Structure 1
Amino acid sequence: MTGLRVERNGAVAVLTLDRPQAANAIDVTLARALMEAAIRCDEDPGVRCVLLTGSGRFFCAGGDVGSFGDAGERLPALLKEITAYLHAAIARLARMDKPLVTAVNGPAAGAGIGLALLGDIALADPTAHFTLAYTAIGMSPDGGTSWLLPRLIGLRRAQELCLRNTRVGADEAATIGMVTRVTAPDALATESIALAHALVASATSAIGATRRLLLDAQTTPFEAHLDAEARSIATQARTAEGREGIAAYLAKRKPDFPNASIPGAR
């Protein structure tokens, strides 16, 4: 058992953290499976959107603290192994061309918050809540949480959440920008897969370029970012999806991005 369920729903790859008996906590096996799945999603041209969610009552409780205790003196080495796989998975999910939707079906803590925040669009069930919890067990953040959180909610709020381990409910998380929005009760699964399929119809190459620009914007000097934008939009003009988008606009029809790259489709 890898602790990760990978399914296809048309052009959507659905990744489900599947250790409900352990609150979907991340151990070495799950971290490795997530990395392998992220690479497959990135490389598979048939996948045009990725949806990440959890099974059972929790989204993800973060690292598997039980395994931390069992590791004894090996704990530093174990943490390096887990983060090697987990961070590779997160980097691939962040940098792939395909959009990422996160469906936060319940409580998230630690690295689970990093996974939740990673979505381009993050939907939350009303029962979801978020607690960093690292310093409560004498640890510091991983899973991209200390990078993503201040960029989404501001440094001041991030400092308090990280240092005091304040619990943030779903509605507050949406208000301060941790998640995109909260769904109606029992509507998360339906709304998230519908959203993923809507994104499937978009121009994947343009989404990938936009994701990269947004990801780099906070750390790239303004003039360098302007150059990156210029190069990116010129590159998009060379793509089949770029040509299809312009042609559809001029013909006053809906673009067919999914088939634009298939020879002979038009």
Structure 2
Amino acid sequence: MELTAFTFEVVDGVAHITMSQPERGNPFDERFAADFDRLATECTVREDVRAVLIDAKGRFFSVGGDLNALTRSREDLARFVSAATSNLHMGISRFARLDAPVVAAVHGLAAGGAVALVAGADFVLASPNAKFYAAFAGIGIVSDSGGSYFLPRRMGSRRAAQFYMLNETLSAEDAVGTGLINRVVEADALETEAWALARKLAQGPTRAFGEAKNLMLSSPAESLEGQLENEARAMARVTRTDDAWNAMRAMLAKQKPTFQGR
């Protein structure tokens, strides 16, 4: 697959996706959005992808939106934003619905849409120098990339509003406290720890992970009874998998279950 904004490989069941425009700060632009959508589709259709690891090259994780592209033409700005977000948002949706859990390893600055991307990941590890900058209100616009969806779910609606409207920058430790990320890892151990987590997830019950992700995404909009029915249907689907059947039998035999992702 030919990419311009990322590199991509699958190792040990982990789809390793790396933002690879370090000289530009890994901006969210047309190339980024198109590549991101293609990568989400690739991970969706490949049976060997059982976890995803997203990281970045260079000084920054991502500076967010490309201001040079955004200010190229006032007359074409709305058209440009609509086209770019079409690809980007399809990718965001597909990664969120993917059975394989998504791990983000963040160093340096994550700004704007990159914070939303981080919030959409299932697990986030960050180095002590990581910073999370809201950015959108600072240039008079609103969030994209699912920020208005994922941030309130991670941080709570009141804290998310404060983060965006006061245009805050969170340190890595502050981000843990708000629920935006899972934990802080020393910079020289970030890659190792992120890979270890991704590989551990890749050895788990992938179909069950996917059902769990979708249940958690649907729960805020559902009534109790509706969510209970969603759980019952998801449970019925999962119990038809080889992984569930074999794991239950292994547990009865006092053996450690192994999962094949099916």
| Residue of structure 1 aligned with 2:159, choices 157, 160, 183 | 157
For 1:113-262, what aligned pairs fall within 5 Å after superposition?
Answer: 113-258=115-260, 261=262
RMSD over aligned CA atoms reads 1.1
Q: Distance in 1 between matches of 2:163 and 2:194?
A: 27
Note the C-alpha offset of 1:72.
3.3
Q: Distance in 2 between matches of 1:32 and 1:244?
A: 40
Q: Distance in 2 between matches of 1:5 and 1:57?
A: 17
Q: Distance in 1 between matches of 2:28 and 2:168?
A: 22
2:18 is paired with a residue of what secondary structure? strand
Cα pair 1:121 1:180 within 8 Å, conserved: yes
Matching residue's letter, 1:96: L
Structure 2 residue 33 is matched with structure 1 residue 8: no
Note the C-alpha offset of 1:130.
0.8
Q: Distance in 1 between matches of 2:26 and 2:39?
A: 16
TM-score for both structures, normalised by structure 1: 0.95
Note the C-alpha offset of 1:9.
1.8
Q: Distance in 2 between matches of 1:187 and 1:81?
A: 38
1:198-249 superposed Cα distances (whole Å, 9 cap, x missing partner) = 0111000000000100111111111000001011111111111111111111
Correspondence for 1:264: none
Q: Distance in 1 between matches of 2:77 and 2:237?
A: 46
Correspondence for 1:90: 92
| Residue of structure 2 aligned with 1:69, choices 68, 71, 78 | 71
Cα pair 1:132 1:162 within 8 Å, conserved: yes
Unaligned runs of 5+ residues in structure 1 are: 262-266
Matching residue's letter, 1:45: E
| Residue of structure 2 aligned with 1:103, choices 102, 105, 114 | 105
TM-score for both structures, normalised by structure 2: 0.96
2:52 is paired with a residue of what secondary structure? strand
Note the C-alpha offset of 1:150.
1.2
Matching residue's letter, 1:106: G
Runs of 4+ in 1 over 4 A off after TM superposition: none
Q: Between the two proteins, what is the percent identity of the paired residues? A: 37
Q: Distance in 2 between matches of 1:219 and 1:3?
A: 35
How many residues in Structure 1 have an aligned counterpart in Structure 2?
260
| Residue of structure 2 aligned with 1:40, choices 35, 39, 42 | 42
1:177-217 superposed Cα distances (whole Å, 9 cap, x missing partner) = 11011112321111001100001110000000001001111
2:188 is paired with a residue of what secondary structure? coil
